[in-house]
Amino acid sequence: MTPRRCRYLPELALAAPGAADKILVRHLVSHTSGIDADLFFPEAKGRDALKSYVEGLAGSCGVLFEPGEQLSYSNGGMIVAGRLLEVVTGLSFPELLGREVYTPVGMTHSSTSAEEAILRSTAVGHFPAPDGTAARPTSMFTLPETWGPAGGTPIGTAR
């Protein structure tokens, strides 16, 4: 049986011709897609950030293995899954996170962007200093918006 082109994400392509056609949703969410994209950081922002990420995979990302053959933690696979959610719901990933996670559990002070977080009391992450002395603030508050579905942008409160 010949794999059919991605029904919901026809723009999904990888550097290896035909590789994206074999990837199923279960491969994306179980880290068995084989997508080799963990160091792909496009700086796209706004409503089309994830679309830009998926379109960028074609020219720069290959596969580590055939889908379903192995397991390899894949931020890229989670980001593609996030884009798929956007396409089938018509909502952006931040809107979905707010509607489906934050609002139902009462996370009224949570957000997905530094622009929103700055409006409330927000802690900045710290890393140990290389010499083992005091911890230093991180130089990057969040990862780019394109990394939202991989956990790179949600900002929550302890409360």
State the Cα–Cα distance between residues 78 and 93, nearest whole angstrom: 12
- Domain at 35, CATH number: 3.40.710.10
Full-model pTM: 0.86
Q: Is residue 101 part of a domain?
A: yes
Q: Is residue 3 part of a domain?
A: no
Q: Which residue is associated with the tokens 């900045």? A: 124
State the residue range of the domain holding 127. 20-150
Planar angle of CA 15, 45, 47, nearest 5 degrees: 95
Q: Is residue 15 part of a domain?
A: no
Q: Is residue 155 part of a domain?
A: no
Residue 58 confidence (pLDDT): 85
Max mean pLDDT among 23-27, 33-37, 143-147 falls in: 23-27
Q: Is residue 85 part of a domain?
A: yes
Q: Is residue 137 part of a domain?
A: yes
Exposure on the CB side of residue 134, measured as CA atoms within 13 A = 2
Per-residue pLDDT at 151 exceeds 90 = no
Per-residue pLDDT at 2 exceeds 60 = no
pLDDT band at 1 (very low <50, low <70, confident <90, very high): very low
Residue 66 confidence (pLDDT): 93
Q: What six digits make up the tokens of 109?
A: 């002070």
Condensed to tens digits (0 to 9), the pLDDT of residues 60-75 reads 888 999 999 999 999 9
Count of domains for the chain:
1
Task: Find the mean pLDDT for residues 45-57.
Answer: 91
Q: Is residue 159 part of a domain?
A: no
Q: Is residue 102 part of a domain?
A: yes
| Amino acid of residue 107 | M
